[in-house]
């Protein structure tokens, strides 16, 4: 796999921009994106990152992404709405600035707790 294509993918350039810039076919771009997505998913699932500890603060936030645009008041959005994706993220405010991010099915307390229970030291 061409390191140049990997770099472009991480720059978050649009599909059409990649196609014009590198001059590769649509199936090639889609294949490389899929390979990178799966590699990142496997890496993040296998890597155990512990956040927090004694006198360390961990900031947690759930974010909603939608194809309809900006959601001004995400607390009023139905968690099971079809065109939305909920993302849970946590950032360790230590010098290392470790973070954790995961897609969650909804923002129910049990889902968030299950996601964070093995990641944050109390």
> Residues 29-39: what's their mean pLDDT?
80
Res 22 pLDDT > 70:
yes
DSSP element (H, E) containing 104 = strand 99-104
Res 19 pLDDT > 70:
yes
Res 120 pLDDT > 60:
yes
Tokens matching residue 87:
């993302």
44-82 residue pLDDT tens: 666 667 788 888 888 888 888 777 766 777 677 666 667
Residue 119: count of CB within 10 angstroms of its CB = 19
> Residues 90-117: what's their mean pLDDT?
82
pTM of the prediction? Answer: 0.56
């Amino acid at each position: 796999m061409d390191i140049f294509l990997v770099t472009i993918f991480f720059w978050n350039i649009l599909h059409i921009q990649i196609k014009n810039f590198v001059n590769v076919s649509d199936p090639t771009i889609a294949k490389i994106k899929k390979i990178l997505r799966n590699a990142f998913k496997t890496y993040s699932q296998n890597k155990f990152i512990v956040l927090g500890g004694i006198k360390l603060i961990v900031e947690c936030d759930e974010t909603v992404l939608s194809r309809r645009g900006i959601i001004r008041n995400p607390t009023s959005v139905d968690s099971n709405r079809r065109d939305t994706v909920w993302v849970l993220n946590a950032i360790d405010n230590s010098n290392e600035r470790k973070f954790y991010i995961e897609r969650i099915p909804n923002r129910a307390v049990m889902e968030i707790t299950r996601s964070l229970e093995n990641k944050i030291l109390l």
